[in-house]
């Protein structure tokens, strides 16, 4: 998978293993179909990484660097193992939580797929800024590279 700026106005493209480019527009999102590569369901709001050809797995900050490289969020209620679901790679993601404090950052948690309110600062684990809460329920997803503590 590769990402890059495709035009001067900041439209980003994600190239999947199937070969298609998916445009990502700042301030919005385009759902992309990915297969759940985990042994358990991936649910709405869980943060994932790409493990293989168009395959998403649940991300976590206390695993490998690949597992901490969060790139997408599930927007389906639940995606069973081996099934295809909808994921977004950036932008404002509505209705994925409740009771969050607006304009506070979200970090990848050591708990699989969770957006935490504090960074994971444990030695030998990864600190990943995922974005920030727009309001109590909506998250602005803009994942950064994992930083090893």
Query: N- to C-terminal Cα distance for the chain?
Result: 25
Minimum mean pLDDT range among 21-25, 33-37, 84-88: 21-25
Where does the pLDDT of residue 13 fall: very low under 50, low under 70, confident under 90, or very high at 90 and above?
A: very low
Model pLDDT, residue 28: 52
Please determine, for residue 81, whether its predicted confidence score (pLDDT) is greater than 90. yes
Please determine, for residue 18, whether its predicted confidence score (pLDDT) is greater than 50. no
How many CB atoms are closer than 10 A to CB 23?
12
**Choice between 94 and 21, residue whose per-residue pLDDT is larger:** 94
Please determine, for residue 104, whether its predicted confidence score (pLDDT) is greater than 70. yes
Please indicate, yes or no, whether the overall pTM of this predicted structure exceeds 0.85.
no
**How many angstroms separate the Cα of 34 from the Cα of each of 13, 51, 70, 99?**
16, 11, 14, 29
Q: What are phi and psi for residue 119, nearest 5 degrees? A: -70, 155
The residue to which tokens 């404002």 are assigned: 92
Token readout for 21 is 């480019």
């Amino acid at each position: 998978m590769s990402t890059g700026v495709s035009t001067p106005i900041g439209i980003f493209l994600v190239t999947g293993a199937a070969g298609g480019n998916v445009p990502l527009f700042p301030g919005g999102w385009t759902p992309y179909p990915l297969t759940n590569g985990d042994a358990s369901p991936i649910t709405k709001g869980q943060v994932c990484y790409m493990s293989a050809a168009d395959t998403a797995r649940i991300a976590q900050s206390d695993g490998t660097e690949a597992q901490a490289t969060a790139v997408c969020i599930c927007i389906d209620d639940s995606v069973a193992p081996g099934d295809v679901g909808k994921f977004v790679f950036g932008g404002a993601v509505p209705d994925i939580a409740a009771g969050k404090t607006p304009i506070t950052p979200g970090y990848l948690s050591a708990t699989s797929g969770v957006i935490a309110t504090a960074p994971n600062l444990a030695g030998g684990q990864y600190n990943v800024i995922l974005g920030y809460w727009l309001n109590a329920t909506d998250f602005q997803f803009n994942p950064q590279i994992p930083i090893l503590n």
